[in-house]
Amino acid sequence: MTRSKISTVTFFLILMLAVLVTGMNKTTAEEPQTRILNEQELVDMLVGSCIQSTRGCDPEESIKQVKEALNQGKQFKLISTDNFPDDWMVVAVQGIGGGGAWEHVIERTQRQNLPTITSAQANSRVADLLSEHMGKEVKALIRSEAAEATTTALLVAADKGIPILDAGITGRAVPEVQQSIPWINGIASIPTAIITPWGDEIIINHAIDEYRVEDISRAIAVASAGSVTITMTPMSGKQLSQGAIPGNLSEAILFGKTVREAHQAGKDPIAALIDASNGYKLFQGIVTKS
């Protein structure tokens, strides 16, 4: 074989190897690396998530639920956006409230003695419902917002044996569905799955925009005793660079740890948080009215 032919064959072999390696990096040839969170990290995360939320948030009940899950032998696995395969699907699970719930619906369903499902059942089923509709397996959960939605994502992920993504679709708590990073960057929250307290199953397959997703899901909550469970914003790993805030849960752990250690050392937790977050204090005052 001539030198030119050898060079050509060598070039194509190298090219094929490069393509194979690149493909393995983007797909699930091997199980991606995850990290198992310990109890202290989980407590710190839940406290830190309340700090991130910038609104009223008491982590006590969330901490209790997570500790109960740990006692049952469940594991809480965290996966980074860097390790999340391009062909995996992640979704957000949360509750949506509806102010001014229809009292006549509440009264009628009570008279009918309609059976209800638990929050845990709704949370688990709603993720499966969206998965069935899309024909694609949910490989991980991402929290939809700070505060209680963090707990929901943690518990559902642990129950299903899948990881929670070290990221979020918002950096704080938000009042409406459309206030999220994915939508700002052109990633829709649909298809969306909704479960009511009685187990009704609804799919929003198409909506004009995110405002209509908010309108429709909120209206269902109003007609369902004021609360429903929703799975939304299905994203592939490839979309995460545009649809998620990486390291969002690691930041929550840092904030919770910072406050805990400041209290233990008898130091000012606010000053410690400002230092840890590279932030600054806007004002200080006393809440006298809500």
8 inside domain: no
User: What is the Cβ-side half-sphere exposure of residue 30, based on CA atoms within 13 angstroms?
Assistant: 7
128 inside domain: yes
Q: Model confidence over 55-73: pLDDT tens digits?
A: 878 999 999 999 999 999 9
Q: How confident is the model at residue 29 (pLDDT cuts 50, 70, 90)?
A: low
138 inside domain: yes
Q: Which of 179-188, 231-240, 281-290 has the highest mean pLDDT?
A: 231-240
pLDDT reported for residue 147: 85
Cβ neighbours for 157, distance < 8 A, ≥ 6 positions apart: 76, 77, 140, 141, 163, 164
CATH number for the domain spanning 171: value is: 3.40.1610.10
Q: Model confidence over 153-187: pLDDT tens digits?
A: 999 999 999 999 999 999 898 888 788 899 899 99
pLDDT reported for residue 287: 83
Cβ neighbours for 250, distance < 8 A, ≥ 6 positions apart: 166
235 inside domain: yes
Q: How many domains does the chain have?
A: 1
Q: How confident is the model at residue 47 (pLDDT cuts 50, 70, 90)?
A: very high
DSSP 148-189: HHHHHHHHHHHHHT-PEEEEESSSS--SSTT-SHHHHTT---
290 inside domain: no
pLDDT reported for residue 99: 75
Instruction: Answer for the pair 130, 157: CB distance below 8 angstroms, yes or no.
Output: no
pTM, two decimals, is 0.85
pLDDT reported for residue 211: 93
User: What is the maximum alpha-carbon separation in the chain?
Assistant: 90
pLDDT reported for residue 13: 40
The dihedral through the CA atoms of 248, 252, 253, 257 has a sign that is positive
Determine the Cα–Cα distance for residues 70 and 205; give it in Å rounded to an integer.
36
Closest among 46, 246, 270, 253 to 147, alpha carbons compared: 46
Domain that holds residue 222: 35-277
Provide the token pair at 265.
């050392």
Given a cut of 90, whether residue 138 has pLDDT beyond it is yes
Determine the Cα–Cα distance for residues 96 and 100; give it in Å rounded to an integer.
13
The dihedral through the CA atoms of 72, 52, 85, 213 has a sign that is positive
pLDDT reported for residue 28: 56
6 inside domain: no
Q: Which residue has the higher pLDDT, 229 or 173?
A: 229
Closest among 43, 44, 57 to 173, alpha carbons compared: 57
131 inside domain: yes
Determine the Cα–Cα distance for residues 239 and 128; give it in Å rounded to an integer.
21
Q: How confident is the model at residue 23 (pLDDT cuts 50, 70, 90)?
A: very low
Determine the Cα–Cα distance for residues 48 and 146; give it in Å rounded to an integer.
9
pLDDT reported for residue 26: 55
pLDDT reported for residue 178: 82
| Average pLDDT of the chain to the nearest whole number | 89
85 inside domain: yes
Determine the Cα–Cα distance for residues 225 and 135; give it in Å rounded to an integer.
30
Average pLDDT estimate for 128-155: 95
pLDDT reported for residue 27: 58
pLDDT reported for residue 57: 87
pLDDT reported for residue 9: 43
Average pLDDT estimate for 239-245: 95
> What is the rounded radius of gyration, in angstroms, for the C-alpha atoms of the chain?
22
Is the peptide bond between 191 and the residue preceding it cis, with omega within 30 degrees of 0? yes
